[in-house]
Chain A
Amino acid sequence: MRPEKHNSRPEISPPESTTQLPSAPTHANVDAIERMERGSELGWRAQLAVPLAALVALAIHLLFSKRAPAVETHSYTLLFYEIVGVSIVLSIAQRFWMPLRSWMRHMCPILTAAILLLGLWDIVTFGFQLLPMPYFPGPAAVLRSLINDRVLLLDSTWHSLALLLSGYTVGVLVGLISGICIGWSTPIRYWGMPLLKVVGPIPATAWIPLAMVVSPSAVVSAAGLIALAVWFPVTMLTASGISNTRASYLDVARTLGAGRAYLVFRVAIPAAIPNIFIGLFMGLGASFLTLVVAESVGVKSGLGWYVSWAQGWAEYGKVYAALIIMAAFFSTLMTLLFKLRDHVLVWQKGVIKW
């Protein structure tokens, strides 16, 4: 069998879209395929695809770049030389290191496609200028903004991270507590559920006018809004997970001599963990949205602020640079949450497919 056959295998990284519920391919299948492939060699096509794509994209750029000053395109061309160089090094290294080989085999199609897409973007914007300027700069200009403004971007990322994590943590903690109480106790559900159903669906960003009046500082109110945005899905999903605990688990635990603490913390909560994680994912998505909105209207730092600031100066290269950072930043957080889930829900492996 030729290894290239597997190039059509779907991407296994988690979905980045925040509205989507978590799902991933069956680990068993991927494992089996990888075990099968491990012995075989990496074909020359897989080895050459990425550097070739880089050379094509580079050629496209050089073809058009006679019009542009050299300093603007310098780092972009350098990027492709680097890609070619790294590909050659990896091609040699993979002969001696098996995990790298299967990683390369897996990543080769998607990386090739990504690089070719850069080339296409270059043709449409920088090349023929089919899209209106300055709203659609070419990849070279975006890369230049990314590199030139790296200090401010890094600082903005740091501020966003601090704000996001403080709001998310508070929202999750409060959401877990309220969700467990609403899910477990009938009187609390009676009083709490209507409140949750009425207040919860209001988008956290709709509270911005009120939050600005009430709170002493923009940062505190932004953290509060993020917490609110996270609180609702976490509470909802936790409460439903707790109240849907299989009655027979609780019955068995009672006949084993369990008291209320055991029933709540050792039966209901573990049984609700899969649901709770769905709430955590939804909350994370909501927190990204709230973060960016809060930063672009009130808070004077962070990636959301950076985007609207750069837009104000019509520096769209910087806007896209910030979007790229955001994509990397948010998807990293999502991936970390997926890793945490896989670790906590190891007992589900083989029971439920996400």
Chain B
Amino acid sequence: MVGVIDMEASSLRIREVSKSFPAPDDPLTRRLTLSNISLSLAAGELVSLIGPSGCGKSTLLRLIAGLDSPDSGELLVGSEPITSPNAERGLVFQDPNLFPWLTVRRNIQAGLVARGVLREKRDEVDQFMRLVGLEVFANAYPHHLSGGMAQRAALARALINHPKVLLLDEPLGALDAFTRMRMQDEVLRLWQAHRTTMLLVTHDIDEAIYMSDRIMIMSPRPGKIEQTISVGLDRPRQRTSEDFLRLRGDILELLHLAGESSVENKN
């Protein structure tokens, strides 16, 4: 089902990336949103970014997607620098952003149409609809879908291009707790099936521990990576295991410290 992925080619490396935006209250000054970010993801790794709002997580994801360009620094997928958006790097937002004028099937195949390869890969559309369990809704319009179904369609739409890197910007943030936990398993299943390199932005510490190989904690103003934690737990993980809860406690403590240290830096 999955094409052979060159493992080296789908690693992600970010070196000393900074990004600033004009300050909203004073357009003449620029505010540093990301300061000297460096990180790297091995091919097939699932890494979470957590941190308070405004720490530049989404900005970082937009840079990796190629939707914005950094002020300085370097972003590479494999050995290729990132210059513009590309089907190699899929992006899923909190809002599924399905095109409301297309049926579910046409939404999922949008990437194939955009790249002009629909004819060769038509059977993959059915595969992916089965993969996310939406065959029945093939001809429904997005507003008929529940939040979880819409997000599954958005995931299928991003994965149908077989991206080397999948960027997830709080993809489950708008879902209720039960749906969210089911969707976490769903995303893990897709990840294990495709071995896509995934970078997941989330607010939810449990989600980060449950899903990722590593967790990066960011702090705001300017956004930087405060700490990286390896989650050494075996998969499938138990949300109630002792190790899980201990790690959760550690991260909560770290986040608290991260908050204090950023205040110190400011002063």
Contact = CB atoms under 8 A, between A and B. Distances in A.
Contacts of B157: 252, 256
B113 A262 contact: yes
A339 interface: no
B111 A257 contact: yes
Contacts of A1: none
A254 B67 contact: yes
B78 to A, nearest CB: 17
Contacts of A130: none
Contact of B86 (A252, A257, A266): A257
Contacts of B95: 248
Contacts of B91: 251-252, 255
Contacts of B151: none
A246 B95 CA distance: 12
A266 to B, nearest CB: 7
A248 B114 contact: no
Contacts of B115: 256-257
Interface string A312-354: 0000000000000000000000000000000000111011000
A347 B144 CA distance: 10
Nearest to B157: A256
A270 B87 CA distance: 22
A84 interface: no
A255 B85 contact: yes
A258 B114 contact: yes
Contacts of B99: 249, 267, 270
B161 interface: yes
A266 B101 CA distance: 10
Interface in A242-299: 246, 248-249, 251-259, 262, 266-267, 270-271, 273
Nearest to B103: A347
Contacts of B89: 255
A249 B67 CA distance: 12
A262 B85 CA distance: 14
A262 B106 CA distance: 14
Contacts of B100: 347-348, 351
Nearest to A349: B141
Q: Main secondary structure on chain A at its contact with chain B?
A: helix
Interface string B111-122: 101110000000
Nearest to B100: A347
A251 B67 contact: yes
B101 A252 contact: no
B114 A257 contact: yes
Contact of A256 (B66, B87, B101, B143): B87
Contact of B158 (A251, A255, A348): A255
Given A249-B99, A347-B101, A350-B143, A255 B110 contact: no
A239 B95 CA distance: 26
Given A347-B100, A347-B101, A266 B113 contact: yes
Interface residues of A, number: 23
Contacts of B144: 350
A214 to B, nearest CB: 41
Interface in B127-173: 141, 143-144, 157-158, 161
A254 B82 CA distance: 14
A254 B85 contact: yes
A253 B110 contact: yes
A346 B240 CA distance: 47
B93 A257 contact: no
Interface string B171-190: 00000000000000000000
A256 B114 contact: yes
A216 to B, nearest CB: 43
A252 B144 CA distance: 20
Contacts of A259: 114
B67 A255 contact: yes
A271 to B, nearest CB: 7
Contacts of B111: 256-257
Contacts of A251: 62, 65, 67, 85, 91
Contacts of B62: 251
A257 B67 contact: no
A350 B90 CA distance: 30
Interface in B55-113: 62, 65-67, 84-87, 89-91, 93, 95, 97, 99-102, 110-111, 113
A85 B89 CA distance: 72
Contacts of B86: 255, 257
A271 B101 contact: yes
Nearest to A261: B114
Given A266-B113, A350-B143, 14 more contacts: A246-B97, A248-B93, A248-B95, A248-B97, A251-B67, A253-B110, A253-B114, A255-B66, A255-B158, A256-B158, A257-B87, A347-B102, A347-B143, A348-B100
Interface of A: 246, 248-249, 251-259, 262, 266-267, 270-271, 273, 346-348, 350-351
26 contacts: A246-B97, A248-B97, A249-B97, A249-B99, A251-B62, A251-B65, A251-B85, A252-B157, A254-B65, A254-B84, A255-B67, A255-B89, A255-B91, A256-B110, A256-B161, A257-B114, A259-B114, A262-B113, A267-B99, A270-B99, A270-B101, A271-B101, A273-B101, A347-B100, A348-B100, A351-B143
A-B complex: 6 closest residue pairs judged by Cβ atoms = A257-B87, A254-B85, A256-B111, A258-B114, A255-B91, A270-B101
